[in-house]
């Protein structure tokens, strides 16, 4: 959560720009990450999945705390290289790796690559031979699950990795330069319940160990991906990382695993960002109180993509008397619905709403040009400095 000590800083940004923006508390993020890595078993390696929020200040924070960075596109690769991240500390995941992109990864000195298809394996092997480089790889496996949906697929058929039968059909012995260190399995996102994680991870390890034996490739490293949840509802209880540490240690011991990796996104940064949007209208439509804000899913598209609201509060305003409002952005589509919340009855046009948990899958998971509204700013607070690396800007600057 963004603490009340940030209120005057947020207020100063509102007064200066009067346009929507994201605010990240990097001090709180640093405290959270430091407690996560404190006394972490050295055979558990954490990477940061930078798709959650690739802002350079956040990448530097991760790097300085010893986390590696997971990239999944040419853009993310450039962003981490531009930020000065050591290529040895970069992991490349993702289903969309062309041969050209694999070559760019190798040219940049990236040494750890997750294989998500037979083509990726063949192209990478050819490039390793051509370019005479050494890399290590993990084989991404998509398991069968009884039921359930997730942004990462759950039991659905997705482009992430291959099923065990498809991999069994691949002649790994012809591609020894791939230097396979283990496996990667990640199909469940935003899980808040440790028992559910235990269920998922136990099944994963059991099936991967059986598979590793079957194809005769040792599992030195098992990468469990991300998936740790954060509270998107006011009633949710946050997941304690101490219980994740205990669970990972239990799994390591029970299954005699050498190394467990995770590349976390949401859990590392989500809670330390808020998005601020101004109320431009309040009205009643067919008996329902409606708020229209100046920014909506054009800046926080995740709400519409996964049909889950970010928790909303009135910025710097509390009141005993509340009522229920449907909150919308300014786009001319009913999809621009940001949730239904109880907010102070005294709310007025020109006041601001604060959307919590938007440090992850916010700014870059958006559609900022639709209807040509303002592009949101990005503001950070770090070591008592308020910095504005990205002021809000008009989108028409970019139109042609
Ligand atoms: C391969 C991979 N690893 C890690 C993550 C981060 O997941 P989370 O934000 O749930 O930690 C993602 C998210 O899509 C991913 O695709």
* pLDDT score of 151: 82
pLDDT at 395: 93
**What residues are paired with 352 via a beta bridge?**
278
User: CB of 359 closer than 6 A to ligand 1?
Assistant: no
Distance 267 CA to ligand 1 centre (A): 10
Whether the pTM exceeds 0.85: the reply is yes
In the chain, what are the helix, strand and coil shares in percent, each to the nearest 5? 35, 25, 40
- CATH 3.20.20.10, the chain: domain bounds: 40-264
| Averaged confidence pLDDT in the chain | 97
State the Cα–Cα distance between residues 378 and 400, nearest whole angstrom: 24
Report how far ligand 1's centroid is from the alpha carbon of 6 (Å).
29
Q: Is the CB of 68 under 6 A from ligand 1?
A: no
CATH topology of domain 40-264: TIM Barrel (3.20.20)
pLDDT tens, position by position, 32-42? 999 999 999 99
- pLDDT of 190 reads 96
User: What local confidence, expressed as pLDDT, does residue 73 receive?
Assistant: 98
pLDDT category of residue 237 using cuts at 50, 70 and 90: very high
Longest dimension (CA), the chain: 70
Distance CA 116, CA 95 (A): 6
The whole-number pLDDT of residue 153 equals: 85
Q: pLDDT at position 386, please? A: 98
Q: Which atom of ligand 1 is nearest to the CA of 114?
A: 1
Instruction: Take atom 14 of ligand 1 and give the residue whose Cα is closest.
Output: 152
Radius of gyration, alpha carbons of the chain: 22
Mean pLDDT, residues 115-128 taken together: 98
Q: What percent of the chain has pLDDT over 70?
A: 100
Residue ranges, comma separated, of all CATH 2.40.37.10 domains in the chain are 271-398
CATH class of 271-398: mainly beta
Given a cut of 90, is residue 51 above it in pLDDT? yes
* Under 8 Å between Cβ of 252 and 41: yes
pLDDT of residue 119: 98
Closest residue by Cα to atom 7, ligand 1, is: 226
Average pLDDT over residues 255-263: 97
- Asked whether the predicted pLDDT for residue 359 surpasses 90, the reply is yes
So what's the pLDDT on residue 2? 86
Task: Please check the confidence at residue 160 and state whether its pLDDT lies above 90.
Answer: yes
Closest atom of ligand 1 to 189 CA is 10
Calculate mean pLDDT across residues 351-366.
Answer: 98
Tell me the mean pLDDT in the region 219-229.
Answer: 98
Q: What is the Å distance from ligand 1's center to 217 Cα?
A: 25
CA atoms within 13 A of residue 187's CA, in its CB half-sphere: 28
Distance, in Å, from the CA atom of 62 to the CA atom of 58, rounded to the nearest integer, reads: 6
Predicted pLDDT at 276 = 98
Whether ligand 1 lies within 6 angstroms of the CB of 24 is answered as no
309-325: pLDDT as tens digits: 999 999 999 888 999 99
Output the pLDDT for position 320: 85
Distance CA 236, CA 217 (A): 41
Q: Is the pLDDT of residue 148 over 90?
A: no
CA angle in degrees (0–180, nearest 5) for 180-185-190: 145
CA distance 142 to 169: 15
The share of the chain scoring above pLDDT 90, in percent, equals 94
What's the CA dihedral at 282, 285, 290, 293 to 10 degrees?
-70
- Please give the pLDDT value at position 3: 85
Predicted confidence (pLDDT) per residue in 324-336, tens digit = 999 999 999 999 9
Measured from the CB, is residue 49 less than 6 Å from ligand 1? yes
Confidence class for position 226, pLDDT limits 50, 70, 90: very high
Regarding the beta carbon of 2 and ligand 1, being less than 6 Å apart is answered no
């Amino acid at each position: 959560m963004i603490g009340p000590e940030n209120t005057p800083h947020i207020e100063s940004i509102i007064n200066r720009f009067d346009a929507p923006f994201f605010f990240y508390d990097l001090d709180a993020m640093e405290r959270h990450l430091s407690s996560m890595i404190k006394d972490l078993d050295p055979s558990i390696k954490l990477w940061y999945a930078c798709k959650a929020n690739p802002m350079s200040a956040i990448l530097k924070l991760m790097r300085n705390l010893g986390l590696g960075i997971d990239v999944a596109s040419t853009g993310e690769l450039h962003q981490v290289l531009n930020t000065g991240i050591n290529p040895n500390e970069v992991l490349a995941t993702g289903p969309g790796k062309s041969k050209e992109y694999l070559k760019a990864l190798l040219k940049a000195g990236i040494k750890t690559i997750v294989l998500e298809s037979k083509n990726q394996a063949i192209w990478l092997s050819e490039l390793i031979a051509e370019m005479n480089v050494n890399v290590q790889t993990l084989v991404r496996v998509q398991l069968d699950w009884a039921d359930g949906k997730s942004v990462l697929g759950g039991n659905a058929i997705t482009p992430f990795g291959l099923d065990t039968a498809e991999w069994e059909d691949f002649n790994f012995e012809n591609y020894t330069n791939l230097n396979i260190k283990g496996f990667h399995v990640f199909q469940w996102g935003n899980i808040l319940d440790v028992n559910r994680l235990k269920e998922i991870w136990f099944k994963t390890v059991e099936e991967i160990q059986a598979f590793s034996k079957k194809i005769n490739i040792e599992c030195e490293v098992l990468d469990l991906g991300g998936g740790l949840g954060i509270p998107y509802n006011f009633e949710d209880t946050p997941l304690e990382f101490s219980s994740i540490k205990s669970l990972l240690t239990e799994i390591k011991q029970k299954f005699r695993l050498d190394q467990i990796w995770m590349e976390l996104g949401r859990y590392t940064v989500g809670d330390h960002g808020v998005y601020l949007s101004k109320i431009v209208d309040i009205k009643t439509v067919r008996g329902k109180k409606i708020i229209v804000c100046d920014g909506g899913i054009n800046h926080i598209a995740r709400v519409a993509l996964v049909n889950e609201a970010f928790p909303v509060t009135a910025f710097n305003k509390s009141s005993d008397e509340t009522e229920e409002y449907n909150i919308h952005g300014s786009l001319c589509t009913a999809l621009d619905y940001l949730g239904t919340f109880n907010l102070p009855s005294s709310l007025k046009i020109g006041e601001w709403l604060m959307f919590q948990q938007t440090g992850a899958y916010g700014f870059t998971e958006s559609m900022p040009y639709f209807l040509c509204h303002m592009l949101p700013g990005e503001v950070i607070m770090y070591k008592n400095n308020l910095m504005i690396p990205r002021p809000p800007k008009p989108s028409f600057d970019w139109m042609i």
